[in-house]
Structure 1
């Protein structure tokens, strides 16, 4: 049985995971993930009961119940690098015995639904609408550091994407992964929900084509991304986490999907800072579906 030494799995003196600061028994099998620590409080405002409320760095965790379902609400911060931390520690909490530092004999599968905000890349994605990431394109390289990535990648889609966008080699190899099909099916009949292909960018500004004082190295990249078409699919929206969530969950054996509310449209140059009610509506939907 594999043993995980202290240097590989850091456990705090109080028996909690290093970054998340929660104990295995504080984690529910249903996990609602958000970026903003304050949004965890918003999720928990819908809970009927609360078991624990833990905050460390950008990781805020509240576990409680909603209509009889035990759910953990957790913030992951911004970016795929944070998702790498969160997914590994969630899996460790679920499937590694912290006392013996060995893998548990019975696998515990987690259901992970990320509720995020996003920028639309197609005219039909109106502000306030919702988008579910059926496929995710990773601009990051997180998946490439893990064995088994080739088994879950959509190479045909990747090839078409790189060809049509004239993808710059210096930006690294983008990868394409699918969300859990069963989780996607739970949102089939949700009003105002679009099935999409989401790009996870590695930054908010230039990596998403936003130009402030520093000129863009690849000014035509966004235009090429918006024009991409493959087997009836187009790229619907930008965000910063779905690719790592979908890919690492696949490799670990968990179920995962990202759903976002659209708070800006890059084609129409529209955006709204007043999106909290839309996010709360999406949270309510996810709490029913998780």
Structure 2
């Protein structure tokens, strides 16, 4: 079936609509970062850079490191942007731009998020690195897709009962990382965690400046939740969407978190840029070994 121009949108130069990229512009190994300025903080370690493109908040550098071709792309903040980035990355490798048809043979991408996060347990140190083994999404992104087969409803049900989840909020969904890709990034420097993906930075993560929240005890409920040996460890804003869409599209994804804040004791990193750079260097070393 040929995809219509209103569904599969291309620019005048035949690049994909939001990312402004051509199929040959991306590698099969992709690093995502939220902040556009962080793209160059990753690509500065490349041996060569062949592509530099940008549009809106989406900036992409593609190059090589130790003979491996890698792309790094900024997503902006939030799972709404993840919906754009991941669908368009998949289109770049799995849709024929000339015939506008899905390819018979599909390509699998390896996608690694390098992001920042806040821990909700006192025993998770600031400046540590955490790999999200599971993610629970408080956004509604995955519920717009036929996604029940990649979710973990038994964990979701237990979580909603534990928190007495407010009925007017989106139904939480739980998804898991890709174990094979995760195994390449593990070491004794990496904690494994269960990440909560929020729809905002302030109220949705329990921060109060001038506005009160619907459930003032929510972060405490998150910290107290247990399902077998799982406990929610940290808060951020993209991982659940990354894991959900990657599984649905047939790609492999892992989220690497630099813990800059500890919400339980009010601590914040004294060197956030340095800690994030160390996670970048660690991740690049692992994926190019």
Q: Same fold (TM over 0.5)?
A: yes
SS of equivalent to 1:113: strand
Find the counterpart in structure 1 of residue 274 from structure 2. Answer: 277
Q: Once superposed, which parts of structure 1, at least 4 consecutive aligned residues long, lie more than 2 Å away?
A: none
Find the counterpart in structure 2 of residue 252 from structure 1. Answer: 249
Q: CA deviation at 1:237?
A: 0.2
Find the counterpart in structure 2 of residue 79 from structure 1. Answer: 78
Query: How far apart are the structure 2 equivalents of 1:253 and 1:207?
Result: 30
Q: Compared with structure 1, are the counterparts of its residues 141 and 286 closer, same or farther at alpha carbon in structure 2 (3 Å cutoff)?
A: same
* 8 Å contact from structure 2 (residues 31, 113) kept in 1: yes
Find the counterpart in structure 2 of residue 160 from structure 1. Answer: 158
Structure 1 segment 1-290 matched on structure 2, within 5 A: 2-147=1-146, 149-191=147-189, 193-272=190-269, 274-290=271-287
Please tell me the root mean square deviation across aligned C-alpha atoms, in Å.
0.9
Q: How many residues align?
A: 287
Query: How far apart are the structure 2 equivalents of 1:32 and 1:254?
Result: 13
Q: Deviations over 1:56-77 (max 9, x none)?
A: 1100100000111000000000
Query: How far apart are the structure 1 equivalents of 2:101 and 2:256?
Result: 34
Structure 1's unaligned 5+ residue stretches are none
SS of equivalent to 2:71: strand
Query: How far apart are the structure 1 equivalents of 2:252 and 2:188?
Result: 20
SS of equivalent to 1:60: strand
Q: CA deviation at 1:188?
A: 2.7
Q: CA deviation at 1:208?
A: 0.3
Q: Deviations over 1:159-195 (max 9, x none)?
A: 111111111111120000001011221233241x110
Query: How far apart are the structure 2 equivalents of 1:157 and 1:196?
Result: 15
SS of equivalent to 1:92: helix
Structure 2's unaligned 5+ residue stretches are none
SS of equivalent to 2:40: helix
Q: TM-score, normalised by structure 1?
A: 0.97
* 8 Å contact from structure 2 (residues 75, 81) kept in 1: yes
Query: How far apart are the structure 2 equivalents of 1:183 and 1:124?
Result: 26
